[in-house]
Amino acid sequence: MTQKYEMNWDLDVFFEGGSSSSAFAELLEQLKSEIPALKKELELMKEDAGVEIWHDLLVRYQKLMSLTLQSYSFVDCLTSANVKDDKAKNLGGHVQAIHADLLAASTVLEAGLAKLSDESFNALISDAKIERIAFNLAEKRKASLDKLAPAAEELVGDLSVSGYHAWSDVYSSVVGRMEIPFEEDGEEKKLSVGQMFTRFQSPDREVRKDVFARWQAAWENEAELIALALNNLAGYRLALYKHRKWDSVLKEPLEMNRMSEETLTTMWETISQNKHRLTPFFERKAKMIGVEKLSWYDVDAPLPAGSSKVSFDEAATFITEQFEQFNPQMAEFAKMNFEDRWIEAEDRPGKRPGGFMTDFPVNNKGESRIFMTFAGTPGCVSTLAHELGHGYHTYVIRDLPMLAQRYAMNVAETASTFAEMIVIDAAITKATDKEEKVALLAEKIQSAIAFCMNIHARFLFETKFYAARKNGPVSKDSLNELMEQAQKDAFINLLDEYLPTFWASKLHFYGTDVPFYNFPYTFGYLFSTGIYARALAEGPSFADKYDALLKDTASMSVEELASRHLGVDLTKPDFWQDALDLVAADVEEFLALTNE
């Protein structure tokens, strides 16, 4: 049978010739001169510059933003599809420098807005041409007012290269050189961290137990140096916050995610009150794999399932059909992705692992590209649906000014999780093989456990670690203790063994883009689940409301977003409770299916 949809994407519509494209090289040159030129103009702005001048600058700034993003996406696509494309890697370096220039221009823009009197600023944002980005400009202005004087911030930015980001690099190079000895197929191997991690997915418990012990030992071995990196990263942040007179380590991540601490607290509290409803799943799974109590390495372990595979065409049809029932526009969008070759899905060597969606915002066509390796498993179908959800988000907001398209991490996963849930639920309902049904359902519940317990442990750890770090460096042994306690608390003592060196093995603690790279995931997951609960209740009439919500994701706080489009108060438990009830219903179904 011939294949209906191609599994390779079309990047030539953007720039012909891949990493040898002359048009792309020209664009980079253009950005290298235009961004610093705009920065200069912003620096020379008079305080009494009128609305027209501001408008012109903002239009140009946003145009440069979208061109920079387009360049970033193009290079990211090239290097992902062919990890050996050295030309593309080299272009990546140029794009990074351009991105740094754009950030510098953004800082000057923020400072310019901060210099305006309240009166002039209000006049500016009430202008009809600027109104749509009023929220984003107010946000930028506040960011500048909250920081140190521009000259001091510029120094901070320069020093951070070797004093902050460098610790992240230290961490990456430690992880990069690590080799973990492992015996497999009668052979003594040395595995990288990434390779070893995949072995946790073994259906054989003895293998997982061995992987776990070696994993622990390997991280313990490097813990001293990694603790140094973690302590210095946190120390840097705390010192900067002190000078900026910020009293809470949550200030920065909460503001980046446009949410209040009250919402965060209510979310975790409601989760904690519902955790006992997950207990029967832990007990049943333990019984199914023949142990008294699950260990850390059993929580995500797969249950035996049939090895049914689907083709890319079948996946495409299945996803499109399921989308259709919730939102015909989503189905149209998916079809366009398959027909116009917006997806790189071929299973071949030389591709980067993982999956992502990246947008090409120039021309407001809402174009995006999805990268993944499609191997026909149910997990691949979910990933494809997930990334199409991200793409749909980009598509819905395509006509908005660039600044109004920059949604935060906690709502970024809304559309993707929503799309994924539609498809997973349909797959569970339609599965004819009982073993497969059980395995799919278990995977769905395990992802809820990851968001509500595993990520909660990270949050609890980070909160306690920062409190301790204020009084000086925290030793590796104390970090192990803090982590193990956080895991016990987050998993309400349901496990037999924990992973104390998790603080060393989790990359997310070492990123310098976003501190507290944990709670936004849980927020996104539950926010999306709550929206899904709404969609199930309201049927197809919910589609328009859903699109309207997506359109506002970068233009207001999450509290306002939820109140305006869903009529709910995120600082109260009800919305979170509805989402958690869906998780509990899955557990009930799992128990019923496995009750024999």
Binding site for Zn ion (CB under 5 A): 416
Residue 140 CA to residue 146 CA, distance in Å, equals 10
- Least distance to Zn ion from the beta carbon of 416, Å? 4
Closest approach of Cβ 413 to Zn ion, in Å? Answer: 5
Which is nearer to Zn ion, 207 or 411 (by Cβ)?
411
Q: Which is nearer to Zn ion, 205 or 352 (CB)?
A: 352
Considering the complex, state which of residue 416 and residue 571 has its C-beta at the smaller distance from Zn ion. 416
Nearer to Zn ion, 79 or 416 (CB): 416
Instruction: Give the Cα separation of 547 and 350 in Å (integer).
Output: 37
Reading the block at residue 476, the tokens are 């590796």
Q: How far is CA 5 from the centre of its chain?
A: 28
Output the smallest distance, CB 276 to Zn ion, in A.
29
Spell out a b/e string for 178-200, using b for 16 or more CB atoms within 10 Å of the CB, else e: bebebeeeeeeeebebeebeebb
The CB-of-48 to Zn ion minimum distance in angstroms stands at 45
How is 500-534 classified by DSSP, letter by letter? TTHHHH-GGGG-SS-SS-SHHHHHHHHHHHHHHHH
Q: Among candidates 268, 526, 334, 261, which has minimal Cα distance to 411?
A: 526
Closest separation between CB of residue 508 and Zn ion, Å?
14
> For Zn ion, which is the closer residue by CB, 378 or 520?
520
Closest residue to Zn ion: CB criterion: 416
Nearer to Zn ion, 91 or 380 (CB): 380
DSSP state of 454: I
Nearest to 215 by CA among 295, 303, 285: 295
Q: How far is the CB of 403 from Zn ion (least distance, A)?
A: 22
Name residues whose C-beta falls within 8 Å of residue 186's C-beta, 6 or more positions apart in sequence: none
Pick 416 or 487: Cβ nearer Zn ion: 416
Distances (CA, A) of 523 to 371, 372, 487: 25, 25, 19
The DSSP annotation for 303-333 comes to PP-------HHHHHHHHHHHHHHH-HHHHHH
Residue 416 vs 454, nearer CB to Zn ion: 416
Q: How far is the CB of 507 from Zn ion (least distance, A)?
A: 16
Cα 356 to Cα 80: distance, rounded to the nearest angstrom? 10
Question: Which residue is it, tokens 């219903």?
Answer: 585
Kindly give the pairing relationship between strand 356-360 and strand 367-371. Answer: antiparallel
Shortest distance, CB of residue 564 to Zn ion, whole angstroms?
A: 24
